[in-house]
């Protein structure tokens, strides 16, 4: 947790206004820690615009189609409607289940032959290959594309409450260099060959759809970056986190391996409720929004920045019940709220890739855990400002020995790591600036 940041259990207000009066270039911020209030904000259709993922720093007018992740209003609705067929649960199950199984089996066979693997590297290769098929990035090397996507996250920190993001001139230059070079490499090595192939022979994937909609190559590149980072890299983090939870709890792991798919997905939904990869959802109010909670009402004014604190909303005891920081699959939830709660967002910007993310995570994890891996080195835990979420690197798994393996000696790479599985939510920063 960052110095001076409030702990999840510190009694912070459920709805809090942080006034920026007298501070030029700094937004008034509303921090929402209540599930009820969060859903009201996220479902206030067309009353807010996307402010997360540095959306407000993206230049307007250069692309004929604004990227789906950061577009708003009727344009966003139309984009979502047209791509919905690629993400529907039945489509994911019918079209991509076999691919998930094949990729998982091949990568795990290689890992067993090597005697083990680094969990985040395994998960990255897996998620990139599966999602690349759906997007249409299939004309290049998966391992090399994975590295190109991963390099995009090497960015200096920023303060989303400030108009200039709180960056110095040098940091902006660093951000441009670290962002534009990987994007250029992705275009030359991955996107351009895929676009050329689909111009010759369209397929049932997102790039072919974008070409049919008249998207330019530049606009397709931006969408591929969006799907690459949101659909591949973030799912990698969840797979690592879910595997660590399941390895840490013998009873939960046994239940998961014995369960059918529906129950396994519910277990994964509870894990991501507790450990959401994206920890904050930011919106900019464009119209007054009335928010109520517990008998109190507040009005968010146009221009105010809204910070929906996903971890706190997901652990709201009024919504998720007693012991909100415990991992309890099957806990009662309010009507209309699924196991992930806010982990995939809500409202018009709710992540359309939720079915794919959970099903592909399950396909890999159920096969990995059946091999009875042993955790030989615990991961390093870090924070990514762009997605306002965690990353986990370096968890080493041993594979391939007969019989029930014992836990191997653990290499502690961080003083914080030995307890992070027991309520990581408690120690995550609410505000990263």
pLDDT tens per residue across span 208-231: 999 999 998 988 998 888 887 777
Residue bearing tokens 């408690």: 426
CA separation for the pair 367, 103 (Å, rounded)? 11
Residue 408 has pLDDT above 80, yes or no: no
**Cβ(242)–Cβ(266) below 8 Å:** no
Identify the weakest region by mean pLDDT among 17-26, 110-119, 182-191, 410-419.
Answer: 410-419
pLDDT of residue 401: 62
* pLDDT (tens digit per residue) in 319-373: 999 999 999 999 999 999 999 999 999 988 888 889 999 999 999 999 999 999 9
**Between residues 197 and 295, which one has the greater pLDDT?**
197
- Write the secondary structure of 167-190 as one string of H (helix), E (strand) and C (coil): CCHHHHHHHHHHHHHHHHHHHHHH
* pLDDT of amino acid 420: 44
Distance in angstroms (rounded) separating the CA atoms of residues 316 and 325: 9
pLDDT category at 422 given cuts 50, 70, 90 is very low
Per-residue model confidence (pLDDT) at position 317 = 95
Q: Higher confidence at residue 271 or residue 171? A: 271
Rounded Cα gap, residues 231 and 234, in angstroms: 6
Model pTM score:
0.88
pLDDT surpasses 80 at 174? yes
Q: Which of 17, 14, 16 is nearest to 28 (CA)?
A: 17
Mean pLDDT of the chain: 85
Q: Which residue has the tokens 């009662």?
A: 332
Res. 424 pLDDT band, cuts 50 70 90: very low
Mean per-residue pLDDT for 185-201? 96
d(CA 368, CA 362): 10
Task: Write down the pLDDT at residue 3.
Answer: 30
Q: What does the pLDDT read at residue 110?
A: 96
Whole-Å CA distances, 118 to 325, 367, 398: 28, 16, 9
- Domains plus CATH for the chain? 15-191+219-427 (1.10.630.10)
| pLDDT per position as a tens digit, 254-286 | 999 999 999 999 999 999 999 999 999 999 999
Say what the pLDDT of residue 404 is.
41
pLDDT exceeds cutoff 70 at 25 = yes
The pLDDT of residue 376 is above 70:
yes
Of the ranges 7-21, 58-72, 136-150, 190-204, which one carries the lowest mean pLDDT score? 58-72
């Amino acid at each position: 947790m960052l110095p001076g940041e409030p702990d999840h259990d510190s009694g912070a207000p459920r709805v809090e206004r942080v006034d920026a009066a007298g501070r030029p270039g700094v937004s008034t911020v509303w921090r929402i820690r209540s599930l009820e209030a969060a859903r009201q904000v996220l479902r206030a259709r067309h009353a807010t615009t996307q402010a997360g993922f540095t959306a407000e720093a993206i230049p307007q007018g250069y692309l004929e189609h604004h990227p789906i992740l950061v577009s708003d209003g009727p344009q966003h609705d139309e984009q979502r409607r047209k791509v919905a067929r690629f993400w529907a649960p039945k489509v994911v199950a019918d079209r991509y289940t076999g691919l998930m199984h094949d990729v998982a089996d091949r990568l795990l066979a290689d890992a067993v032959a090597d005697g083990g693997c680094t969990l985040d590297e395994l998960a990255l290769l897996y998620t990139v290959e599966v999602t690349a098929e759906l997007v249409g990035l299939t004309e290049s090397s998966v391992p090399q594309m994975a590295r190109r996507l991963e390099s995009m996250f090497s960015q200096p920190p920023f303060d989303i409450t400030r108009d200039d993001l709180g960056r110095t001139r040098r940091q902006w230059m660093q951000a441009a260099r670290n962002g534009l070079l990987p994007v250029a490499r992705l275009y030359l090595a991955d996107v351009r060959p895929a676009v050329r192939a689909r111009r010759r022979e369209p397929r049932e994937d997102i790039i072919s759809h974008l070409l049919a909609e008249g998207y330019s190559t530049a606009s397709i590149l931006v969408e591929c970056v969006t799907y690459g980072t949101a659909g591949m890299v973030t799912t990698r983090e969840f797979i690592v986190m879910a595997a660590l939870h399941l390895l840490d709890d013998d009873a939960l792991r046994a239940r998961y391996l014995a369960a059918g798919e529906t129950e396994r997905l519910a277990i994964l939904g509870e894990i991501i409720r507790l450990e959401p990869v994206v920890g904050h959802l930011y919106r900019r109010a464009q119209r007054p929004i009335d928010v109520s909670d517990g008998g109190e009402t507040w009005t968010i004014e146009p221009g105010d920045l809204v910070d929906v604190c996903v971890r706190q909303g997901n652990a709201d005891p009024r919504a998720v019940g007693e012991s909100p920081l415990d991992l309890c699959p099957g806990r009662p939830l309010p009507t209309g709220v699924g196991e992930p709660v806010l982990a995939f967002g809500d409202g018009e910007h709710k992540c359309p890739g939720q079915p794919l993310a959970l099903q592909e995570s399950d396909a890999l994890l159920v096969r990995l855990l059946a091999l009875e891996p042993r955790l030989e080195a615990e991961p390093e835990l870090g924070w990514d400002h762009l997605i306002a979420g965690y990353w986990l690197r370096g968890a080493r798994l041993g594979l391939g020995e007969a019989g029930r393996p014992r836990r191997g000696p653990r290499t502690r790479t961080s003083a914080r790591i030995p307890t992070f599985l027991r309520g990581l939510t408690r120690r995550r920063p609410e505000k990263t600036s």
